[in-house]
Amino acid sequence: MHPYFNHIMLAYIGFIPFLLCVALTLMVGSSTAIIDAFSYYSLGVLAFLAGSLWRPGEQSQQRAVVAILVIVPFPLLAVASQVVMLSYLSVAYWLVLIFERSAPAWQETHQDYQKMRFTLTSVVFVSHLFMVAQAIELAG
């Protein structure tokens, strides 16, 4: 069995709640509750991803601080509109991936993991765009 198999499977399993929220919206229509559930799950996943990049001791202190700057706006997002929050989240997933790819350790990670991270980031981005459209529909 491939050493990254468990990490890859967990990452894809972690995407299921995103898909469920999108599917629910397609089945029952735009809903503030579904958009909120999607947004807060997304905040949790993004905080985990950004936090896993922190790794003090393995990188310079400056780089460790930059790794967590992506999650600093989270408390402010709690009072933002759904459209603003979802738009920020869609971009933040790319920022975390770009930061991860710029780390020296990225070159040592398996290509399957690298492909999985790009694929999931792309699909999560598209699902956020879909939910932004749903939030705009509700607001309008």
Closest residue by Cα to residue 11 from 131, 125, 118, 117: 117
Rounded CA-CA distance 53/39 in Å is 21
**The model scores a pTM over 0.75:** yes
What 8-state DSSP symbol labels residue 59? Answer: B
Closest residue by Cα to residue 91 from 51, 117, 60, 125: 125
Average pLDDT, the chain: 85
What are 106's two structure tokens? 């990225």
- Mean pLDDT is highest, among 45-54, 74-83, 118-127, for 118-127
Mean pLDDT, range 22-32, rounded to an integer: 94
Number of domains in the chain: 1
pLDDT value for 78: 66
Rounded CA-CA distance 124/126 in Å is 5
Range of the domain at 27: 4-139
